[in-house]
Structure formats: structure tokens, C-alpha cells
Amino acid sequence: MTIYKLCHRVLFIFFILSFELGGDCYAATNPIEISYGRNGMIKYDLNKGKFDVYVNGKVIFYDAYARAKSNGQLLTAQSYQTHSYSKKTLNDSFGKGIKYIVEYRSAGLPTLKHTIYTYPARDHFFVEITLNGKSLKSNYLAPFIASFRDITNESRKRSLFVPFDNDAWIRYDAKELNEGTECTSSEVGLVYDEVSDRALVAGSVEHSVWKSGVRTKALRAGNELEAFSGYTDKDVTRDQRFHGFIENDEVRSAKFLVGYFDDWRSGLEEYGKASRQAEKPYVFNWNKATPVGWNSWGVLQANINYSNASRVVDFFADSLRNFRSGNDVYVDLDSYWDKMIKGGLEGDYSELKSFAAYCLSRGVQPGVYWAPFTDWGFKSGAERRVEGSSYTYGDLWTKVNGGYHDFDGARALDPTHPGTKERIKLVIGKLKDCGFKMIKIDFLGHGAIEADSFYDKNIKTGMQAYKAGMEFLLKQLDNQMLVYAAISPSMATGRYVHVRRIACDAFKSIGDTEYTLNSVTYGWWQTYLYNYLDADHVVLANESYGENKARTLSSVITGTLITGDDFSTTGNWTVRAKELFQKGELLKLVADGKAFRPLQGGSGKSAGAMFWKKIDGFCYLAVFNYGDLEKVFNPDLAKAGILPQRVFVTTDVFSGKQYHIGKRKQMIVPARDVVLLKFKL
């Protein structure tokens, strides 16, 4: 073949590809150079099907590539004969940018499209892969697998495990990144240096179809990161089987954010904000004040009744008049409110309705609780009729590995089953008719598990089922209640609720405070995914004053303040509640509604000890001592963006005592206690 004919053949191929792609196709020089943000550059080698990522001219990731499974076959760029490239301008929820599409084709294989999204205003990029063909079936798509350089020359590097949910007292875990370390984190992964704070972040920003994971490995030959859709683990996602398969002519992974950041906290905050932008809220916008109030599970639990709940209302109306955000305070009946109805869920709700009316008459907003995707009475048999329907509970049970999904003492219900929907419609209708203004929904993870199949045959994955169930639930609520989530998937729930509890149940002890603050240390950034984060009911009981302060402040720095003592009786807790819950400085912080930032991380599964926020020209620094002995602290103000050479005279909000911090000044915090320092910037 002559050179002349060869050139014409090449031009013809690019013309056809451009026509098929519907965009601009390029016979670009190899490697393709893709700029992003202020100083990022991707160099994509079409021949190898791999790319390197640079920041300020320094390679951060290298040999990055995509991998997928289709109909049981593992595919990479090396599986294909033809590689082409195109780009298109876009204007989406992230702003104006360009998407770059590298397309791989071979006879007999589905087309693999590797797409990179860049935006001049964003110092990170997004990446996804798509398979196109006929009758495809996949439950694994990895758009970003790469080796990465050491982010600094320091030796104190960690890889963060992020839980899928907040169930079973699970903890975030900042694992040391040593040779042989492997960590698979749910939805988002973080590798950071404790000294410099520099970090790599990779995470899925879409959660309606896939459960995704980020796996890091520390190897002698180099570190590796894999961001993939199709993640399950019985100890993390609670699934007892593999991820569901997407079956279609087109199968697309979740979109992942990938970036290098000078500060790991900024990186995680950008990830949280991007997730909110990628999947807009389905719940109505909350434009009232930060919710504060009380929940019965703190102490009363199964002993709740009309009499003691009404006395709690009286305590808030008469003795905690200044404990308000805006003009509202919520009194929320948790599990066992059904003791106030007669004849079961289809019965007489008049006493419950009377309670809600009493709350409103006393200037208190009534709240209630429900777990829509669980059957707590499954041990009583499958033939029980489902309230509000003609189905039996056995019809509704989610089928898993030929059996069922039992966790937390409850059996999962299929969110797509008409019986589940009719039950939801019945109960929510009754609660709306009672006049409740808030609902706490719980054990939502039961609606997100992977199943053998769902009643709705168009639903193939746990997250698709969760989306269907949550959207139906919200349609029944009809914008009439503040929606609060307790046990729930961390990322996917952001679209559906106003408030989410950041950790599992916490009560009164310093151990409860430390447990909650482990989640705040590494999950505070979800304050940008939800309207508000919550630290669960604050119980004072008869604990020491220091522990009462610490537990109260753990909630304040998370973003809201929900209390939990038995205020139908009197004791140390009522005296302390009047002091702590009506303190003006604390209520000012609650009104702001956003979580404090950690000053620095912890180690392993521990919580950080210091958290800060800047507001109205002041900085607030919370310093916790979880131990049994007094402890010396030396706050590194540089990690809060404050010049460390300065010395600040600060005042403890609780005691009025002055402390000098900055310029290596030390301070002492008593055992099982906290100080909240305030100083002018």
C-alpha cells in the first residue's frame, strides 16, 4: 500500500469515528495532554491505554487505566485493537468544562469508553467508564486504577477507611500506610500525610445505582489505588452476597472525583460538596433554623407513654424556654410510640394525635419515629398480614441467597414490593394526620442490601432499590415534616433527609463522646452533603460535670443539639440541662449549623482531640481529654490557618478561665473533660 493510500485510509477512519461519536474526533499527538484546574495535567497515552497525572509538573498518579467486567470477561485497554479520542464542551452542575472520551473498540467486544471531565475552576477531575453493546451484564467497573507516588518525603502517611453506614458502632480507621497495608474504603478513599496534611482523594459522587469502593495497597514496588463500582463486604456494606448486576445495552460506572490537595480536610470537603452537586436533593429544601430538641431513646426508650412524654414537653416549655433555635424545639418520640395506639398500625391513633396537639399547644414541635424497611416481628412467622395491604410479611421479605437478610434484630423488606409501599403509605398517612412535624427514620440500610432479585424486575442493585424506596417514602411525607435519618448509608442518604446522625447510638459517657467524635474527626465534611449533622441524643444523667460538658459539646460541634434525658423526673440532669442547653455561646454555634473542622486527625480508630471553627471574627477551639488523667495539649494553630507565631489570650466558654495558646504554648485539660476556647482573630 502506498503512503498516499495509507494516509487516506487513516483520514477515513477518523472521519467515521467522529461521525459515530457525534463530537469532535482528533488525530492528536500521543500522549494527549489534558489540563485541569489551575495546575493539573493529564497525559494520556492512547497506545498503552494508560495515563499519568501531574500537579505543578510533578507526577502524582502514573500508569492509570480502566478495567471492567462484561458477561464474566475482564476487560482493559489491552483487550482492544482500536483506540480513539474525542472531546466535547459541557456545562453541567459542576460548571463549564470539557469532557475527554477515549474509546476502545474490537470486534466481538463491547465498546469501552473512558471519560474524563475537567473544569478550569476545579483543581480535581472526574472519571467514569461506560460499556456499550448488546445484552451486557456487569457488576464491576473500575474507571481509575493507578500507582501513586509518595505525596511527601515524610514517613507518617495514612490511608483512611470510611464506613458505608453508621451501624453496629463502626468506626473510621486511619491506617498507617506501610508496606503490605491494604485498605478498602466505602465510596471515598483518602491517603494523607500527618505532618504536611497533603493528600490524595478519590471518591464516587453518584450513589443511586452502585455501591462503590476505593482500595489502596502499599507495595514494595509502589503504592496502588483502585476506584471501582461494585463493592460489597458483609462487615461494611452489610451484604451477604455479591453486588447486583446491571443488565443493559449500556452500563456506566459511578462518576469518581480524583484529586491531589494541599490539605486533606479541604480535599474531603470538596468531595462532600461535589456529591451534593452531582445528585441534587430529592427532599424539599429546609430553610428554617437548625433543629434542636429531645429524643426519647436517650433514657426512656421502651418506657415511653403519654404521661411521661407530656411531662417532658412541660419541662421544655417551662424550664428550658431559652433552648430554642429560631422559635422551635422538637420533642421526638422514638421507637415504642406504638404503645400510644390501640389495635396496631391500622388501629386507633387518638392518644398519639392528642400528644402531638399537646406539644403544639405548649409551643413545642412534635416528632415521631419509624423504620420503613424492617420487620421486627419476623420470628412470629411469614403468614402475618401486612398492615394496609392484603400481602403477608413473607411476601415482602427481601430474598438473599435463597434466604433472607436479618441484621440488628430485624428482617429486611423489599423496598420495591407493593406491600412495603402500602404499609409505608398507611403509617405515614396516620402520622401526618396526627400532626407530627418531624420524623426520625431508622435502619435504612435494610433497604439498600443486595438481593437475589427484587419485586420490581427493573431494579437490579441495592442502591437502585434504596432510591426507589426513599423516593416513595418522601412522596408520602409530602413536604410536611423535617426528615432525620439515624442508621443509614452515609453518602446515598444525602438526597433524602435534612439531618443525619453521624455515628451509631451514643449516650452519656466520655466513651460515647470519643466514639462520636471519631466520626466527626473523619466525617465532618458530610456537613456539606446534608443540611445538618447530628451527634445523637445527649444524655447527662449523673455523670461528672466534665463529662456532661464534653457530651454536650460533642453534639454542638457536630452541628445540632438533640438531648435525651428523662425530663419527666428531676435530678442532676435537669439542673445541668438548664445551664448547658441554654448557654448563649453554644446556641450561637448551633445556629450556624455547620460542623467544626478537626485540627488534626487521630490514629487508627481513635478520635482527634481538637476541633475548630471561625465565625464572626472569632475562632472557637474545642479541646477534649478522653482519658482518666489530666493532659497537656499544644494546639498547632497553623493547621487552622492561623499564624503560629502569635500568642492568643483565650477564654473558656464554660468556666471563663483564660488560656494562652499559640507559639508552642501548652495548656492542661482535666481528665474526662473539655474546654471551649474563644479568641478574636
pLDDT grade for 15, boundaries at 50, 70 and 90: very low
pLDDT grade for 664, boundaries at 50, 70 and 90: confident
**Among residues 548, 570, 597, which one ends one of the domains?**
597
| pLDDT at residue 220, as a whole number | 77
- The sign one gets for the Cα dihedral 108, 110, 114, 115 is positive
pLDDT grade for 179, boundaries at 50, 70 and 90: confident
Q: Please check whether residue 405 lies inside any domain of the structure.
A: yes
| Pair (313, 266) in one structural domain | no
Measured in degrees and rounded to the nearest 5, phi and psi for residue 445 equal: -60, -25
**Among residues 597, 612, 643, which one ends one of the domains?**
597
Q: Which CATH number characterizes residue 627's domain?
A: 2.60.40.1180
- The sign one gets for the Cα dihedral 626, 628, 630, 633 is negative
> Does the pLDDT of residue 182 top 90, yes or no?
yes
- Averaged pLDDT for residues 380-399: 98
Q: Using a cut of 0.75, tell me whether the model's pTM lies above it.
A: yes
| Pair (104, 181) in one structural domain | yes
Q: The cell 435504612 sits on which residue?
A: 444
Bridge partners of 158, per DSSP, are 176, 192
| Pair (539, 616) in one structural domain | no
Percentage of the chain beyond pLDDT 70 is 95
Q: Please check whether residue 655 lies inside any domain of the structure.
A: yes
| Pair (591, 609) in one structural domain | no
pLDDT tens sequence across 471-506: 999 999 999 999 999 999 999 999 999 999 999 999
- Averaged pLDDT for residues 332-360: 98
Q: How far apart are CA 339 and CA 333, in angstroms?
A: 11
Q: How far apart are CA 100 and CA 67, in angstroms?
A: 18
Q: Please check whether residue 663 lies inside any domain of the structure.
A: yes
- The sign one gets for the Cα dihedral 163, 169, 172, 175 is negative
Contact 308, 567 (CB under 8 A): no
| pLDDT at residue 663, as a whole number | 86
Contact 76, 144 (CB under 8 A): no
Domain that holds residue 492: 292-597
Mean pLDDT of the chain: 94
Contact 404, 382 (CB under 8 A): no
Between the CA atoms of 604, 610, 614 and 619, what dihedral angle is there, to the nearest 10 degrees?
-160
> Does the pLDDT of residue 517 top 70, yes or no?
yes
- Spell out the SS3 assignment of 287-351: CCCCCEEEEHHHCCHHHCCHHHHHHHHHHHHHCCCCCCECCECEEECCCCHHHHCECHHHCECHH
Q: How far apart are CA 144 and CA 253, in angstroms?
A: 11
- The sign one gets for the Cα dihedral 519, 524, 528, 532 is positive
Between 56 and 1, whose confidence is greater?
Answer: 56
Of residues 248, 287, 219, the one with CA closest to residue 110: 248
Compute CA distances 210 → 31, 140, 151, 187, 204, whole Å: 32, 9, 29, 10, 9
| Pair (506, 561) in one structural domain | yes
Contact 460, 246 (CB under 8 A): yes
- Averaged pLDDT for residues 523-552: 98
Report which residue type is found at 101: I
| Pair (492, 349) in one structural domain | yes
**Among residues 542, 564, 597, which one ends one of the domains?**
597
pLDDT grade for 296, boundaries at 50, 70 and 90: very high
Number of independent structural domains in the chain = 3
| Pair (504, 652) in one structural domain | no
Of residues 329, 330, 346, the one with CA closest to residue 338: 346
Q: Which residues of 265-292 are buried (b: 16+ CB within 10 A; e: fewer)?
A: bbbbbbbbbbbbebbebebeebeeebbb
| Pair (243, 192) in one structural domain | yes
| Pair (560, 456) in one structural domain | yes
- Which helix (H) or strand (E) covers residue 62, if one does? strand 58-70
Q: Please check whether residue 287 lies inside any domain of the structure.
A: no
Q: Please check whether residue 249 lies inside any domain of the structure.
A: yes
Q: Which CATH number characterizes residue 510's domain?
A: 3.20.20.70
| Pair (241, 297) in one structural domain | no
Q: Please check whether residue 283 lies inside any domain of the structure.
A: no
Coil, helix or strand at residue 375:
strand
pLDDT grade for 27, boundaries at 50, 70 and 90: very low
| pLDDT at residue 178, as a whole number | 87
| pLDDT at residue 10, as a whole number | 38
Q: The cell 478495567 sits on which residue?
A: 67
| Pair (95, 156) in one structural domain | yes
Of residues 281, 271, 186, 202, the one with CA closest to residue 489: 186
Of residues 488, 531, 529, the one with CA closest to residue 166: 488
| Pair (299, 207) in one structural domain | no
Q: Please check whether residue 285 lies inside any domain of the structure.
A: no
